[in-house]
Amino acid sequence: MSVSMKTSSASVTCARGNDGRGGLLPRLWRGWREGGRGRAAVNRSTRDIWWRMAWRNLWRNRRRTALTASALSFGFVAAVLMMGFMNGMMEEMVSNGTEVVTGQIQIHAERYRPERSIHDTMGGREGLDVSALVAAAAAQEGVAGVAPRLYGGGLVSSGDETVGAVLMGVDPELERRVSRFASVFVEGRMPGPGEVAVGAALAGKIGVAVGDEAVLVAPAADGSTGNDLFTVSGIYRLGLGGFDDSYALLELGTLQDFLAMSQGRIHEVAISVDRVRDADPVAESVAGAVAGLSPDLVTEPWSVFLGQLYFVVSLASAMNSIVAFIIFGMAVFGVANTMLLATFERRREFAVARALGTSGGALGRIVVYEGLLLGVVALAAGAALAFPLLAHVHANPIDLSFFIGTYSFMGSAIRPLLTVEYSFVEPLVSAVALLGTGIVSALLPAWRVARLPPADVLADR
């Protein structure tokens, strides 16, 4: 601390002491506090000058700074956009993978999966209060639809043709809010009592049309064999092979009767959520809400019951991070090279500052500040470009149907649309990565500057 400051503090204290105000301790306290203020002001001005020098140095060669910042900005835009596209594609995959049939959350009896035995209904063989279960789940925040389901395996025949099929009992009204069955009928409608709706491929195999009759045969829960005649109410086409050629939909009560089950017996409750990314927390709250209805209920989000899809999404997320790392990693070398050049050009100035008594650490700090400020400038420019672009592509997905058609991947129909989904996380991570890039790029130049031999540099050796 400077002598002059101590002197100044002492003189203030002395002046007050002469006024006769306050004893020794208050005077010491005032002196210390004023000294502290002085120290803070000095530290602040030293810090300020390093920042000021870094900022001004940055703009000494505007073209170079603009080019370097552009490279970083481009990296930021590329990273944010690339992650947005990947997120968009994954969200599309997850949405399609879960909105078509499964929903984003499912409730089963604990033992139902993976065997899917007809006997493993919720609440055991007694069943449970399905309405209460549906109501409890539907009451949770974030839940968009709740649909109870019952499954059986059997044969569907018409004329001489017979095929094996999964019989799926649904509540047509509730099902509309969870799956796409109701919206993909190419002919007819969802089944009512005594009716069956079949997939287009299955209908083709057994040669039925709407209004025709089909015979269903299936082992019932009581050991008997259900055997009955049903009218085809409609033919749907989901676009997913497994459902179009081997699923037959019946009204829930009808299938319960057919399989000799009481009205309280169901295998599954499928739940759709308002936002797919909220499936996990919503599943938790649903699990809590329905736990009291039966002790054997298991509530799972799609990431559990569609494990493969979740794996692909996680893989994509990891790839996002790797690609972002590569983008910024490449930027580090480019920026470090530019900064090495910039600091080399100014080595004489650094040597002078060193000769005047500036520590190597302080000089290194100036260079690191330059890197950080370069990052901030690049971030501002990148954000100004990236966010409107993200919002635009989010609202107006890029149509790639010119190049490719709709395709199916892991049971999910993917539209040829390049859309972006974004949250605050990716831009935030990219921003931190960009600023980190600026700092990391400056470390080597800073280290070299801190070790400059002033006499040799001043003598141009």
Interface residue list for other proteins (CB under 8 A): 1-2, 4-5, 8, 38, 41-42, 45-46, 49, 52-53, 56-57, 60, 348-349, 352-360, 453-456, 458-459
Cβ-proximal residues to 156 (8 Å cutoff; 6+ apart), any chain: 162, 163, 164, 165, 196, 198, 202, 206, 214, 215, 216, 248
CB of 64 to other proteins, least distance (A): 15
Question: Which value, to the nearest 10 degrees, does the dihedral of the CA atoms of residues 14, 18, 20, 26 take?
Answer: 0
CB of 446 to other proteins, least distance (A): 16
The pairing of strands 185-188 and 247-251 is unpaired
Pick 204 or 360: Cβ nearer other proteins: 360
Radius of gyration from C-alpha coordinates of the chain: 35
CB of 456 to other proteins, least distance (A): 7
CA 420/CA 427 separation, integer angstroms: 13
CB of 60 to other proteins, least distance (A): 7
Pick 58 or 133: Cβ nearer other proteins: 58
Pick 24 or 459: Cβ nearer other proteins: 459
Pick 315 or 355: Cβ nearer other proteins: 355
CB of 364 to other proteins, least distance (A): 13
Pick 57 or 73: Cβ nearer other proteins: 57
Say if CB 163 and CB 207 are below 8 A apart.
Answer: no
Give the other-Cβ count within 10 Å of 124's Cβ: 16
CB of 68 to other proteins, least distance (A): 18
Say if CB 338 and CB 60 are below 8 A apart.
Answer: no
CB of 28 to other proteins, least distance (A): 20
Pick 308 or 359: Cβ nearer other proteins: 359
CB of 393 to other proteins, least distance (A): 41
Pick 23 or 357: Cβ nearer other proteins: 357
CA 68/CA 248 separation, integer angstroms: 62
Pick 45 or 408: Cβ nearer other proteins: 45
Dihedral (CA of 339, 341, 345, 347) sign: positive
CB of 50 to other proteins, least distance (A): 10
CA 158/CA 213 separation, integer angstroms: 7
**Which residue has tokens 């169901």?**
266
CB of 98 to other proteins, least distance (A): 58
216 phi/psi in degrees, rounded to 5 = -115, 135
CA 65/CA 335 separation, integer angstroms: 10
The number of C-alpha atoms within 13 Å of 265 and in the hemisphere containing its C-beta is: 23
Helix-strand-coil percent breakdown of the chain, rounded to 5? 60, 20, 25
Pick 1 or 425: Cβ nearer other proteins: 1
Pick 33 or 52: Cβ nearer other proteins: 52
CA 381/CA 375 separation, integer angstroms: 10
CB of 56 to other proteins, least distance (A): 4
Say if CB 57 and CB 36 are below 8 A apart.
Answer: no
Across 306-317, b (16+ Cβ under 10 Å) vs e yields beebbebbeeee
CA 461/CA 448 separation, integer angstroms: 16
Pick 348 or 392: Cβ nearer other proteins: 348
